Amino acid sequence: MGSYRVCLCFQRRFNVAEVVPPQDVRDIFLKYSEDGTHMSPDQLRRFLSEAQGEEEEEPQKVVEWVVQKRHHITKFARHNLSLDDFLHYLFSPELNPPIPSQVNQDMTAPLSQYFIFTGHNSYLTGNQLSSDCSDVPIIKALNRGVRVVELDIWPNSTKDDVLVLHGRTLTTPVELIKCLRSIKEHAFSASPYPVIITLEDHLTPNLQAKASQMIMETFGDMLFCLDHENSDVFPSPEELKYRILISTKPPKEYLTSKSVKENSRKLVKSKDSDDDDDDWGKEVTEVAKAQNEDDTGDFNTKQPSDDDESNDDESERNQQSEYKCLIAILAGKPKGSVKEALKVENDKVRRLSLSEQALENAAESLGTDLIRFTQKNFLRVYPKGTRFNSSNYKPLIGWMHGAQMVAFNMQGYGRNLWLMHGMFKANGGCGYVKKPNFLINVGPNNEVFNPIDKLQVKKTLKVKIYFGDGWRMDFKQTHFDLYSPPDFYVRVGIAGVPADNTMKKTKIIEDNWVPVWEEEFTFPLTVPELALLRVEVHEYDMSEKDDFAGQTCLPVAELKQGIRAVPLYDRKGNKYNSVRLLMLFEFI
């Protein structure tokens, strides 16, 4: 029983509801158990095979684990499950998760056939203008499974060392060597698959040589270098396990960026909205100012400075050659239009970078060109320069066009980052997700997938939300309401291609820490391969903005059928200790 102080004179008392098995769970238990009283290991195995679509080789161990955890029986453990034991099993994210926890996709295809978990300005601790540069956010990103780390490298004030910082801003720098050493130490803590370091290089030739020496000494045999003259197919993630790849432009393509107006003091108002809006409404109020693009990609015009003038000295040529040999994925700075830049060269694999706006513009008329390019080459998409507070854009447009590196501010927050986290929960969270075949294959008449085509519904996902629990363990009694238990509701929907996007809502369950909804929803899907299931729990507040109570995002292609325990995460994407939902997933 919980009590809430209403005034100095008295308290209101509320019973804390116990978790009760839903009727569907009772019916299943009755169907598969002995006389509706106990379920044996063999019966559990049959339930898992027929209802959950998976095989369990050692159901006896599962039964013993559940019974011991619930009843602390060690010597004379029961060898079957009661109804409450069975519900405990179903409601355990460790035993009954909604998606597989292991790598389950083919990892032997060329690297360009995978979506890759990609960071943007990976060294920033906060906003893009005045936060600190540090190796800490790089370590956090790697530990979350991020596989592409971006470093902006600049000369120090005396031009004798290399720093990492966001150029032409007030961010405090960090030494390149510190970032490199942290990458080496943490690169494979979450995944054995390759880590790619993308360098935004603003160095003079002698400092490029110093940077290359640092890279070689730090990583040694971990570095993967490619003979670009004799390679038209890139190796696979499997072949590149525990390797470090450098991706940047060849040395001669670097020119110091033209000067901009004095940093953040002369920023002007932008016509572009910088709200992290999506199909679920506004979430973050953002600064509406503009800065000249700092992350220049491959289409900004740069003016040469004195530091960039060519020197025919043999030593410099050797330095440039050494630097170029480190580059595994060549980034280009093509001349001309985006259409020309998207031409596929038979004897080369390269990387092209586009801002989120440039991608949106290209998608309107060059959708199939983007698809053909990304079937072999790498496309990196990065946030527009006005996202000062490290917000993010909608990632689906990049994925729809086969972009492997949809670069996100991992230190940011918001719904779009939740989608990124959701996509890369797939394939065991290893940071590489195999692209759907329609983004890889060419048809009999040399046609490719066109994202603007209207498609028929391929399959329909049925979702049932039974109940939720765990808030009473993870939150203070007065977190949501000072005077009564919370009033929870769930928003559930799909993020995917435009035709599949939708969001629906359950009823509000008032004054209950263990809300029971028992509501069912159906979602017709035209491109289920790119669909993400979005789940958000909120607490209704009559007088103020509804309170956030948890979220998750799950790749539809990996959803396990049947009744599943779905753990929820906080705003930053960290998993709560106890908060979870019991849900049913069916494809019809």
The one catalytic residue in 38, 88, 120, 421 is: 120
Whether residue 185 contacts residue 144, with contact meaning beta carbons closer than 8 Å, is answered with no
Determine the Cα–Cα distance for residues 174 and 123; give it in Å rounded to an integer: 8
Catalytic status, residue 228: no
Residue that is written with structure tokens 């989120």 in the block? 356
Helix ranges (H only) for 77-223 are 83-90, 136-144, 176-186, 205-219
Rg, Å, the chain Cα set: 27
- CA gap 503, 517 in Å, rounded: 17
Spatial CA neighbour of 289 closest among 263, 315, 309, 308: 263
> Is the torsion defined by CA of 253, 258, 264, 267 positive or negative?
negative
Dist CA 199 CA 390 (whole Å): 19
DSSP 361-400: HHHHH-HHHHHHHHTTSEEEEE--TT-TT-----SHHHHH
β-pair partners for 197: 149, 246
- Measured between alpha carbons, how far is 518 from 582 in angstroms, rounded to an integer? 10
Which residue has tokens 């998750």? 552
Tokens matching residue 262: 């004095």
Distances (CA, A) of 292 to 168, 262, 274, 308, 393: 10, 11, 15, 22, 18
Question: Angle of helix 83-90 relative to helix 23-32, nearest 10 degrees?
Answer: 110
Residue 581: enclosing H or E segment and its boundaries? strand 575-587
SS3 128: coil
Where residue 562 falls (left for φ over 0; alpha for ψ -120 to 50; beta otherwise) is left
| Distance set, CA 150 to CA 135, 159, 200, 490, 530 (Å) | 11, 22, 7, 36, 25
How many other CB atoms are found less than 10 A from the CB of residue 456? 6
Q: Are 421 and 140 in contact (CB under 8 A)?
A: no
- Asked if 516 contacts 464 with a C-beta cutoff of 8 angstroms, the reply is no
The catalytic residue among 166, 202, 401, 421 is 166
Report which of 21, 43, 42 is spatially closest to residue 91, judged by C-alpha positions.
Answer: 21
* 120 catalytically annotated: yes
Where in the sequence numbering do the catalytic residues fall?
A: 120, 166
